[in-house]
Amino acid sequence: MAANRTVVVIGGGFAGVVTARELLRDRRTRVVLAEPSPRVGRGVAYGASEPWHLLNSPAGAMSADSQHPGEFLDWLSDRGLPDGAGEFLPRGTYGDYLRDTWDATLKAAGDLVTVRSDTAVRLRPWDGGVEVGFASGVVEYADDVVLAVGNPKSSGPIRRGAPGYVANPWRLGAFDRLGADAPVLLVGTGLTAVDVMLSLSRRGHRAPVLAVSRHSLVPRSHRTRPAGPADAHAGELRFRAETLSGLLHQVREAARPDWRAVVDGMRGDLNTMWRGLSEGQQRGFLTHLARYWEVHRHRMAPKVAAEIAELTASGAWVVQADAIVSSRPLGSDGIEVSFASGVARRFATVVNCTGPARLPLGANDLVRRLIDEGHARPGPHRLGLDVDVEGRIVDGGGTVNDRVWTIGALRRGALWETTAVPEIREQAARLAVRLTGTVRPRVVL
């Protein structure tokens, strides 16, 4: 059967690959996956990682297939790898799984899929569809485009390119020239800082590593024991409150068995809650509460948490509440950093471990161009693009574009939970149904 529509998916990380897989269930749809990196499927999250960088969710929650919740566990079992649903496995292993399943998709899809190792730089309306221009000069004509480009990247508080500054800690070889006794500063105390600290420790770094953030909050740990009956019941609760304080009261009452089960149990309600808040209430949450939510929601694997606790107890990792107010490059001597506390210190290396930037800062060239040309606009809080409830972009004049869709991180702001595997997997399945007109089969868990 010949394809009767073309969808261009821009971005070949997890969100892009899962979207392409879902679209290719329909044999009438041709998919063009645009990704300049040769490591399709891995993206930043599952690409340049070390064996000690573990998934932040248990394996049982990590299937990439909306119709096969146990696919990742089956893949592990077939290869003789630990396949327990509660296992926290290396991110590189998950990247291998994504690559293997994508290779199988390519083989099954045949001529219905094209992988274009190129960078999309331009979108233009075209005869009821979209013209996609690439850096190479190639043009694709699509009925629909899906933007799966991930989070806007923060360059951090120091000028990119300054000697001794690591703007991207995932760059291969980022720490190869770092001496074991060199003073190091991590800007941020979240999961990225945790991963960097583990890498430095495993490489034999001896000098204490300082990590700073405004509130010095470090991610909490996942449970180290299986959930009991009371915990499971807490995870099934449904939370309804008209105010943030009311919601907090419900959470406190429910958290008696284990707060982790309560936090996880809220995931199915969070986006409905978020959309029910006024813009002012959302802003208040972002200003005062989001940082506390994040360290409880996005947790460390138990093994990682134990290692970080040991590094903290030994003084190898020092976490402080502070902020950078200025910096001065010292050439081969590193960077002098002045803090809000009034202290100034010299570091051989400063590592950017901050979270995603707000738009338009940090946007890739295509998204920035869409904003500059008025084809898109940042959402109310600049966490992502302004989109409707289905993920379609809204232009500078407030008109919904029926042909350009988003998935994952670019929906931040319109949604709250939109960057983890289960949420992106569900978005991809719904988007494929919307674009292809197919009926989604019921999945029996």
With a cut of 70, say whether residue 445 has pLDDT above it.
no
**Same domain (yes/no): 51, 70:** yes
Let me know if residue 92 belongs to a domain.
yes
Q: Which residues contact 149 (CB under 8 A, 6 or more apart)?
A: 10, 11, 364, 366, 367, 409, 410
Please state the rounded mean pLDDT for residues 388-398: 96
| Closest to 438 (Cα-Cα) out of 44, 27, 30 | 27
Residue 174: CATH number of its domain:
3.50.50.60
**Same domain (yes/no): 272, 418:** no
With a cut of 50, say whether residue 161 has pLDDT above it.
yes
Pick the more confident residue, 38 or 298: 298
Please state the rounded mean pLDDT for residues 144-162: 89
pLDDT at 249 (0 to 100):
63
pLDDT at 235 (0 to 100):
45
State which of 256, 278, 297 marks the end of a domain: 297
With a cut of 80, say whether residue 239 has pLDDT above it.
no
Determine the residue type at 239.
F
Let me know if residue 160 belongs to a domain.
no
pLDDT at 259 (0 to 100):
85
* C-alpha–C-alpha distance, residues 288 and 271, integer Å: 19
pLDDT at 167 (0 to 100):
92
pLDDT at 126 (0 to 100):
84
pLDDT band at 83 (very low <50, low <70, confident <90, very high): confident
**Same domain (yes/no): 266, 293:** yes
**Same domain (yes/no): 316, 289:** no
Global pTM?
0.90
pLDDT at 228 (0 to 100):
46
With a cut of 60, say whether residue 314 has pLDDT above it.
yes
Strand 129-134 relative to strand 139-142, pairing? antiparallel
State which of 297, 328, 343 marks the end of a domain: 297
**Same domain (yes/no): 287, 383:** no
pLDDT at 266 (0 to 100):
86
Let me know if residue 33 belongs to a domain.
yes
**Same domain (yes/no): 201, 104:** no
Under a CB-based contact definition with an 8 Å cutoff, are residues 254 and 237 in contact?
A: yes
**Same domain (yes/no): 323, 276:** no
User: For the ranges 76-80, 137-141, 267-271, 322-326, which has the lowest average pLDDT?
Assistant: 267-271
**Same domain (yes/no): 41, 147:** yes
**Same domain (yes/no): 107, 34:** yes
**Same domain (yes/no): 380, 261:** no
With a cut of 70, say whether residue 90 has pLDDT above it.
yes
pLDDT band at 362 (very low <50, low <70, confident <90, very high): confident
Phi, psi of 431 (to 5 degrees): -65, -40
Under a CB-based contact definition with an 8 Å cutoff, are residues 403 and 124 in contact?
A: no
Let me know if residue 442 belongs to a domain.
no
**Same domain (yes/no): 99, 186:** no
Average pLDDT, the chain: 90
* C-alpha–C-alpha distance, residues 274 and 416, integer Å: 6
* C-alpha–C-alpha distance, residues 78 and 361, integer Å: 43
pLDDT band at 245 (very low <50, low <70, confident <90, very high): low
pLDDT band at 329 (very low <50, low <70, confident <90, very high): very high
User: For the ranges 33-37, 233-237, 321-325, 387-391, which has the lowest average pLDDT?
Assistant: 233-237
DSSP state of 84: -
pLDDT band at 244 (very low <50, low <70, confident <90, very high): low
pLDDT at 243 (0 to 100):
62
Q: What is the DSSP string of 393-409?
A: EE-TTSPEEEEEEE-GG
Let me know if residue 441 belongs to a domain.
no
Let me know if residue 341 belongs to a domain.
yes
Let me know if residue 337 belongs to a domain.
yes
Please state the rounded mean pLDDT for residues 421-438: 93
Please state the rounded mean pLDDT for residues 155-177: 88
* C-alpha–C-alpha distance, residues 123 and 146, integer Å: 11
pLDDT at 250 (0 to 100):
64
Instruction: Give the number of domains in the chain.
Output: 3
**Same domain (yes/no): 323, 306:** yes
Query: Which domain does 148 fall in, by range?
Result: 5-153+358-436
Q: Tokens 């001794």 correspond to what residue?
A: 164
Please state the rounded mean pLDDT for residues 246-257: 60
pLDDT per position as a tens digit, 215-237: 999 999 998 765 544 444 444 44
Let me know if residue 445 belongs to a domain.
no
Please state the rounded mean pLDDT for residues 201-226: 92
With a cut of 70, say whether residue 179 has pLDDT above it.
yes
